[in-house]
Structure 1
Amino acid sequence: MREIFGKIIAALLIFLSVVGCQKKEEVGVNPYEGGKEPFGILFTANRTDPEIAAPGEVVRVNVKGLKKYENKFDIRLNDVSTEVVALTDSTIDIRMPAQVSSGIVTVILDGQIFYGPRIGVEGKVAVDTDYKIVNGFDMGLRQIMPHSGGHIVVGSFTNFENEKSGNTYRTGIHHITSLGQSSTSMDFRRRANGPISSIARLPNGKFIVGGSLTTFSARAVGGIARLNANGSLDTTVVAVINPNADTKPLDGLDTVSSFNAGFSGGMVSYVFETPDNGVIVVGSFTSYWKIDYAYSSRVNRYYINTKVKNVARLKEDGTLDSTFNVNNTGFNGFVNGAVKLNDGRIVIAGTFTNYNGKAVNNIVCLKPNGEVDEDFLSHGGTNLPIQSVTYNSTLNKLAIAGTFKTFGSVPTNGVVLLNADGSVDQNFVLGDMDGEFPNYAYILNSGKVFVTGSFSKYNGINRGGVLILEADGTAKQEYNNLGSFRGTPTTLVETTSSLGNPAILLGGTIYEVGGKNVGHIVKIEIKN
């Protein structure tokens, strides 16, 4: 045994001597060599004193390591340079800039950026934190409609406030109270199996919904459905062919959607009620269909198809109105928005240059009979696409937003206010957005204009993608204190805040407003 152990030791010594004789590898160059030395700057608190301040006021920020670099750094709020009032080893006092929106404090020293806490800028605009919504919707909203003291919301969502469960449905449509909580006054039952893009209330109190849905409450529909006043699907019992009458006598009857209509080739994007309880439909579809139940069974349907593109009017029973928009060939592009005016005309905007063989520039107005409104058209259109069109029925004015630079002969910068006759309100002039563009605009009852987009500056001042402008397009500091906005609105309703002040309820694909995460819906207070 000792002999074997000795041989093992000898082998190990030989191996170590060989390894030790090998040439040592050179150590590679340090990839971090030449990097900047750490400055030792550290924000020691995530709150400032005070947390909200008005322009001109002094705010204390807790930060270590700045004293030794006095006069060598720049400290900013929302990327706007601030005045240093006092500096110690552990704090810095800064004066709020005269023109600034809420945002975070940053220190810039020798090309390095250090991120600090957020400071709220005092003003007349704020997120209503007393509105009860916490998590919101899991996906985007398309329309918010006031109803019964609260709001009916439609969109592509499948959940609200994490309430969805085995027998609790939240898909496509939901009713919330004035406080932002789920209401029990509507009975949508199993709801839609896909997104709902639009809702309208008929004169008889029922509702029309349109979108990409193929069922509502487990009954087949074709992108459009009529709901009873309580939210349930409006159904009827019809006689159908029963090939198994001897064994299944009940199969001779079927419960179906009372609104016998559907669209194919694209989705229903907008629905608008008509005085006779019918509906005008706008979307990307290419044909209309109805079911002939006399030749249908519970399993197989007999469809009657009619070519109709982008725009159609349906009667109360869902029948296609053949007198509306005769010989319709539709648009040669895309519809991005549509609104109904007080007199029943429909304004449609998007990316197109032709409608029914007539040259148009991204916007067209249709009379209630489907004919193009030539007077509206005479004012021209835009040179580039329109992303959104909104309408204030109280002021009888429209707002359009997009990448365009002209409307007719009028130079613009992406937002135009229009009178109901299609003429431009030349009192409003949108300022400089530093090469970026708006995606949404709405004229409020106060005359102010709410604007969002990809911009970070307005007339040289950092504004973070949201503006509340005066009627002439100027941005007053007290109405532009909100700060960051991430998302694209699709719907806005004027309401009141929890304190009774004017407010807007905003929906769309919205992630952050004023430094707060939101679930695609937010209430913003706008004081007078």
Structure 2
Amino acid sequence: MKAFQYITGIIIYLLCMQACSKDNIGESGKNPYQDTVLPAILISKGGVVPDKGHMDEEITIRGKGFKEHQQELSILFNGQAASIISVTDSTVKVKVPAFASTGNITAQVGQQYFFGPFFRVLGPMETDTIYPSSRGADNNIRDIIPLEGNKYLIVGDFTNYDNANIDGGVNRVARINADGTIDRSFKYGRNTGSPSTVVKAAALPDGKYLVAGSFASYEGLPYASSITRLYNSGALETVNVTRPSGKVQPTPAMKGGVSGVINNLHVQQDGKIIVTGFFRYYVKPNYNLVTVNGADSLHLDSTLVNLLCRLHPDGILDTSYNYDLVNHRGMEGVNGVINKSILLPDGKLLIAGTFTKYNGAAALRVARINTDGTLDPTFNTAQGANGPIGEMAIQPDGKIIITGEFTTYGPQQAPKIARINTDGTLDGSLQVGVGSNGMIFNVSVMPQGQLVLSGYFSRFNSITCNNFLVLNPNGSIHTTYNTNGGISLGTNDVTGGFTKVLQLPDEHAMLGVGSFTKFDFRQCNRIVKLRYQ
């Protein structure tokens, strides 16, 4: 029996070898897998002269094989085809095309692509290479706000900034100078507990700061429930509480906060604070309790508020804002997520996200809220976006730019970006064609009305762009502001991009912060300064 199995195995092996030989060797007896496919052309290493230039300037590309394949040859600058001026076997002269951007030059012959050297396209919007972006933050910067004295407050997930190597770290909150260096007069070291993040910041009229996000302690003190107030020095503002035992205990000065994440933070002119985010309960520590044995005890009192609430300046819940006084809880509010909220000059609040209702009334992913928290019926909320809105920006004229995963607004086409009027209706003057082929995470309005977009996309209409783009006010692609190489996303940076763009109109510049590590193919660790003409 064993001998039969052995012989059978040999026969199967020989049949397989014969089959493989027939498959691998053609009738000519030649093995096709031994053929070497020679490249149609070859671009020399460093064979682009000059290696940088403006649109419409002439450059020479050196290599071989160009003349033979002249009829099929295309030269691409980051996807944009150039006009070919002349061709020899060893050189091809071209003009840098319109909408070219920094990146590798590629030659195309039929369906074959041959990658060439790096070429930097120059233009009127350039990275400020003096600004110390490479020494930025070691993790995400989520917000940046201007301060007096030409300084800025940044918050996020970082534990170091500007390679400061400060004892205890630069934990999630930092003040930086106008030149991008860290302000060492600010208090650093032990701040928020871990894991935690600081998402938003606000400057108060008295020079103090509010910071909010997702944290349960600050400077080692508990019950800083995702929002707390800092002195101008950066130190936590505290008050002393006398416990039933007579013990005096330091606590955060803010008397309450939320159980969850605060995504948006707004300070009204009267000092009251509106917060929105991923939370359902307002919480406030009660320090006046005792155990059955008479020892000090503590309990977190909680009130249902559902993603939106307003606080008094001391952190106490404002029950005059979207609140049910009979049932002692917040009103129903939204039936989905609030991704973005903006406090308007008249005190009303603009909200956008995934919701379709507000307090039971139709509100298709965007709504305007009155100063008492009720829905503003003068804002057209019944004909909104057909998909989630992730970001908003306000133009100087009050009109609103929205971006997200929608394709229509009301009955009209709006591919992932739209402009709406102050009454909530669509402004059809923003025409973007098919728009982006990916997500737009952030939108900012420049002083002259241009729109700065960033996110996770590689094309906008027919133009190649690396996760960054500037549009004209009418939605067309700006002809000269898009020569930079954009945001380079690494393997783990699928959500990379800007989280905030701060316009600096007096400088003709803007600061961008976020989760990126490269901009225009330069090392920019979560912060970059762009100058424009």
| TM-score class, shorter | 0.7 to 0.9
Larger Rg: 1 or 2? 1
**What residue in structure 1 maps to residue 126 of structure 2?**
126
Contact 2:364 2:382 in 1 (8 A): no
Matched, 1:342 2:345: yes
Closer/same/farther in 2, CA of residues 202 and 61 from structure 1, 3 Å limit: same
Write out per-residue CA displacement over residues 271-303 of structure 1, whole angstroms, 9 at most, x where no aligned residue.
111233231111111111111222269985222
Where do 1:48-447 residues align within 5 Å? Answer: 48-64=48-64, 66=66, 69-87=69-87, 91-109=91-109, 111-148=111-148, 149-164=150-165, 167-193=167-193, 194-220=196-222, 221-242=224-245, 252-264=247-259, 266-295=260-289, 300-327=297-324, 328-378=331-381, 380-392=383-395, 394-433=396-435, 435-447=437-449
Counterpart of 1:515 (choices 510, 514, 521) is: 521
Instruction: Please give the alpha-carbon distance, in whole angstroms, between the structure 2 residues aligned to 1:42 and 1:137.
Output: 41
Contact 2:72 2:108 in 1 (8 A): no
| TM-score, structure 2 as length reference | 0.84
Kindly state the Cα deviation for residue 108 of structure 1 after the two structures are TM-superposed.
2.9
Kindly state the Cα deviation for residue 43 of structure 1 after the two structures are TM-superposed.
4.3
Worse overlay, 474-483 or 337-346: 474-483
Closer/same/farther in 2, CA of residues 125 and 172 from structure 1, 3 Å limit: same
Closer/same/farther in 2, CA of residues 311 and 78 from structure 1, 3 Å limit: same
Closer/same/farther in 2, CA of residues 225 and 513 from structure 1, 3 Å limit: same
Worse overlay, 102-111 or 330-339: 102-111
Kindly state the Cα deviation for residue 87 of structure 1 after the two structures are TM-superposed.
4.7
Kindly state the Cα deviation for residue 120 of structure 1 after the two structures are TM-superposed.
2.3
| TM-score, structure 1 as length reference | 0.84
Q: Residue 387 of structure 2: SS of its match in structure 1?
A: coil
Write out per-residue CA displacement over residues 60-114 of structure 1, whole angstroms, 9 at most, x where no aligned residue.
2343565665545433211222234345565443221234222211123464432
Instruction: Please give the alpha-carbon distance, in whole angstroms, between the structure 1 residues aligned to 2:152 and 2:102.
Output: 30
Instruction: Please give the alpha-carbon distance, in whole angstroms, between the structure 1 residues aligned to 2:374 and 2:176.
Output: 38
Instruction: Please give the alpha-carbon distance, in whole angstroms, between the structure 2 residues aligned to 1:234 and 1:32.
Output: 77
Instruction: Please give the alpha-carbon distance, in whole angstroms, between the structure 2 residues aligned to 1:183 and 1:462.
Output: 39
Instruction: Please give the alpha-carbon distance, in whole angstroms, between the structure 1 residues aligned to 2:32 and 2:154.
Output: 54
Closer/same/farther in 2, CA of residues 395 and 227 from structure 1, 3 Å limit: farther
Instruction: Please give the alpha-carbon distance, in whole angstroms, between the structure 2 residues aligned to 1:263 and 1:108.
Output: 57
Matched, 1:495 2:492: no
Kindly state the Cα deviation for residue 450 of structure 1 after the two structures are TM-superposed.
1.3
**What residue in structure 1 maps to residue 6 of structure 2?**
none
Contact 2:307 2:337 in 1 (8 A): no
Closer/same/farther in 2, CA of residues 431 and 503 from structure 1, 3 Å limit: farther
Instruction: Please give the alpha-carbon distance, in whole angstroms, between the structure 2 residues aligned to 1:501 and 1:275.
Output: 28
In structure 2, what residue type is equivalent to 1:490? Answer: T
Worse overlay, 369-378 or 41-50: 41-50
In structure 2, what residue type is equivalent to 1:360? Answer: A
Contact 1:188 1:217 in 2 (8 A): no
In structure 1, what residue type is equivalent to 2:209? Answer: F
Contact 2:364 2:381 in 1 (8 A): no
In structure 2, what residue type is equivalent to 1:329? Answer: E
Closer/same/farther in 2, CA of residues 95 and 178 from structure 1, 3 Å limit: same
Kindly state the Cα deviation for residue 426 of structure 1 after the two structures are TM-superposed.
3.1
Contact 2:243 2:296 in 1 (8 A): no
Q: Residue 302 of structure 1: SS of its match in structure 2?
A: strand
| Alignment root-mean-square deviation, CA | 2.9
Kindly state the Cα deviation for residue 161 of structure 1 after the two structures are TM-superposed.
3.3
Q: Residue 379 of structure 2: SS of its match in structure 1?
A: helix
Closer/same/farther in 2, CA of residues 455 and 305 from structure 1, 3 Å limit: closer
Kindly state the Cα deviation for residue 158 of structure 1 after the two structures are TM-superposed.
2.2
**What residue in structure 2 maps to residue 7 of structure 1?**
none
Closer/same/farther in 2, CA of residues 60 and 374 from structure 1, 3 Å limit: same
In structure 1, what residue type is equivalent to 2:164? Answer: E
Aligned residues: percent identity? 27
Instruction: Please give the alpha-carbon distance, in whole angstroms, between the structure 1 residues aligned to 2:418 and 2:91.
Output: 47
Closer/same/farther in 2, CA of residues 124 and 256 from structure 1, 3 Å limit: same
Where do 1:438-457 residues align within 5 Å? Answer: 438-457=440-459
Where do 1:459-498 residues align within 5 Å? Answer: 459-486=461-488, 487-495=496-504
**Unmatched 5+ stretches in structure 2:** 1-13, 26-30, 325-330, 489-495
Q: Residue 382 of structure 1: SS of its match in structure 2?
A: coil
Write out per-residue CA displacement over residues 392-432 of structure 1, whole angstroms, 9 at most, x where no aligned residue.
5x443432101222223443222122344434433222232
Q: Residue 33 of structure 1: SS of its match in structure 2?
A: helix
Closer/same/farther in 2, CA of residues 279 and 32 from structure 1, 3 Å limit: farther
**Unmatched 5+ stretches in structure 1:** 1-22, 243-250
Kindly state the Cα deviation for residue 470 of structure 1 after the two structures are TM-superposed.
1.6
Counterpart of 1:526 (choices 509, 529, 532) is: 532
Q: Residue 33 of structure 2: SS of its match in structure 1?
A: coil
Closer/same/farther in 2, CA of residues 190 and 420 from structure 1, 3 Å limit: farther
Contact 1:122 1:478 in 2 (8 A): no
Kindly state the Cα deviation for residue 312 of structure 1 after the two structures are TM-superposed.
0.8
Worse overlay, 128-137 or 358-367: 128-137
Contact 2:84 2:95 in 1 (8 A): yes
In structure 1, what residue type is equivalent to 2:180? Answer: G
